[in-house]
Amino acid sequence: MMGHWNMINVIVYFFAKTVAKPYVICPAGELTLFGRSIILKRLFNLLIGKRIIKDASGYIAVTHDEIPLFEAYGVKSDNIIVIPNGVNESDFLPRDSAPFVSRVGIKESPYILFMGRLNPIKGPDLLLKAFLKIATRFPNHHLVFAGPDGGMLEELNQIRVHSSVSGRIHFVGYVSGTDKVAAYRDAELLVIPSRHEAMSIVVLESGMLKTPVLITNQCGFNDVEEVSGGIVVQASVAGIEEGLCKALEDPIKLQNMGENLNRYVLKNFTWNMIGEQYLQFFNKIINENRATQLR
């Protein structure tokens, strides 16, 4: 099962219990009680959510930072395996496509990219406010938000409208396919200003296109700074502002970061190798279940 707060997991849970089959759960960061639905999430956990976690035969965390979240549900750490998110290389093969800036209408100006839902947990407001603070220092840069509205578009647009650089801030909505690849490829920097995230898959996608990243320390991916593939900052306006200045003032270093991130992702996070880890773990669970039935 993937995720936690969904009815599909409930249905699968009851089916697995009915036919006496083992199941594995990978919440992918969804165990945290965060956002405007906390009361509903507490109710979900009270009625069925905690039982789904408790009765699982195996647990997959996408980062080591997720293990304490499992432990809060009563799961012992030695029953948890860490298997990170992966990326499909074929989705990011070189393709002939028009520059993304032509769709946005910003000509050849460099731009900072946000890729994700426009909701509080993803922190687009933090990035927008930080950009406004550095916009004068970097007068040629634009800020592009690519992703569906998650309840914040109106608020963000009001901030844009009342700023002195409204023409340099763009909301382009959901992008996919070649548009998504071009958005990553043409960006000077991807920023992930999340207030909480288990492991940001857009870091991997950006790395496939050699685009460096600026992420918060709440993204579960501090490794990117250790391999010189990006910058990790506090999840605050001030933290992101500082990170933007540090990144944009040295374009050559920024380009090198993109190269480093690309090598790191290709070496560690393609689905060919991640998929093998899943298969090994699933086989282990199946064999353990068979052994239990034979006792």
pLDDT score at 200: 85
pLDDT score at 126: 98
Rounded distance between C-alpha atoms, residue 36 and residue 39, angstroms: 8
Burial of residue 111, with CB atoms counted within 10 A of its CB: 0-12 exposed, 13-18 middle, 19 or more buried? buried
Q: Which residue has the tokens 């639905």?
A: 37
Dihedral sign for Cα atoms in the order 84, 22, 5, 145: positive
* 198, containing H or E segment: none
pLDDT score at 78: 87
Mean pLDDT of 91-119: 83
Q: Which amino acid is present at 149?
A: D
Query: What is the tens place of the pLDDT at every residue in 166-204?
Result: 999 999 999 998 889 999 999 999 999 999 887 889 999
pLDDT score at 96: 61
Nearest residue to 258 (alpha-carbon basis) of 209, 222, 294, 223: 209
pLDDT score at 9: 94
> Is 0.75 surpassed by the pTM of this model?
yes
Reply yes or no on whether the pLDDT at 105 is more than 90: no
Reply yes or no on whether the pLDDT at 97 is more than 70: no
DSSP string, 106-125: -TT--EEEEES-BSGGG-HH
Going by pLDDT thresholds of 50, 70 and 90, the confidence category of residue 94 is low
Reply yes or no on whether the pLDDT at 220 is more than 90: no
Nearest residue to 196 (alpha-carbon basis) of 217, 226, 224: 217
pLDDT score at 95: 66
pLDDT score at 102: 72
Mean pLDDT of 17-29: 93
* Residue 200 φ/ψ, nearest 5 degrees: -75, 115
Mean pLDDT of 130-154: 97
pLDDT score at 36: 65
Going by pLDDT thresholds of 50, 70 and 90, the confidence category of residue 159 is very high
Dihedral sign for Cα atoms in the order 68, 70, 72, 76: negative
Mean pLDDT of 33-40: 76
Rounded distance between C-alpha atoms, residue 191 and residue 168, angstroms: 16
Burial of residue 3, with CB atoms counted within 10 A of its CB: 0-12 exposed, 13-18 middle, 19 or more buried? middle
* Residue 41 φ/ψ, nearest 5 degrees: -65, -40
Mean pLDDT of 243-257: 96
Query: What is the tens place of the pLDDT at every residue in 283-295?
Result: 999 998 888 777 6
Cβ neighbours around 206 below 10 Å, total: 33
Going by pLDDT thresholds of 50, 70 and 90, the confidence category of residue 98 is low
Query: What is the tens place of the pLDDT at every residue in 52-65?
Result: 999 999 999 999 88
Domains of the chain: 7-86+270-294 (3.40.50.2000), 89-267 (3.40.50.2000)
pLDDT score at 84: 93
Nearest residue to 151 (alpha-carbon basis) of 116, 201, 181: 116
Q: Which amino acid is present at 218?
A: Q
Rounded distance between C-alpha atoms, residue 144 and residue 187, angstroms: 9
Mean pLDDT of the chain: 92
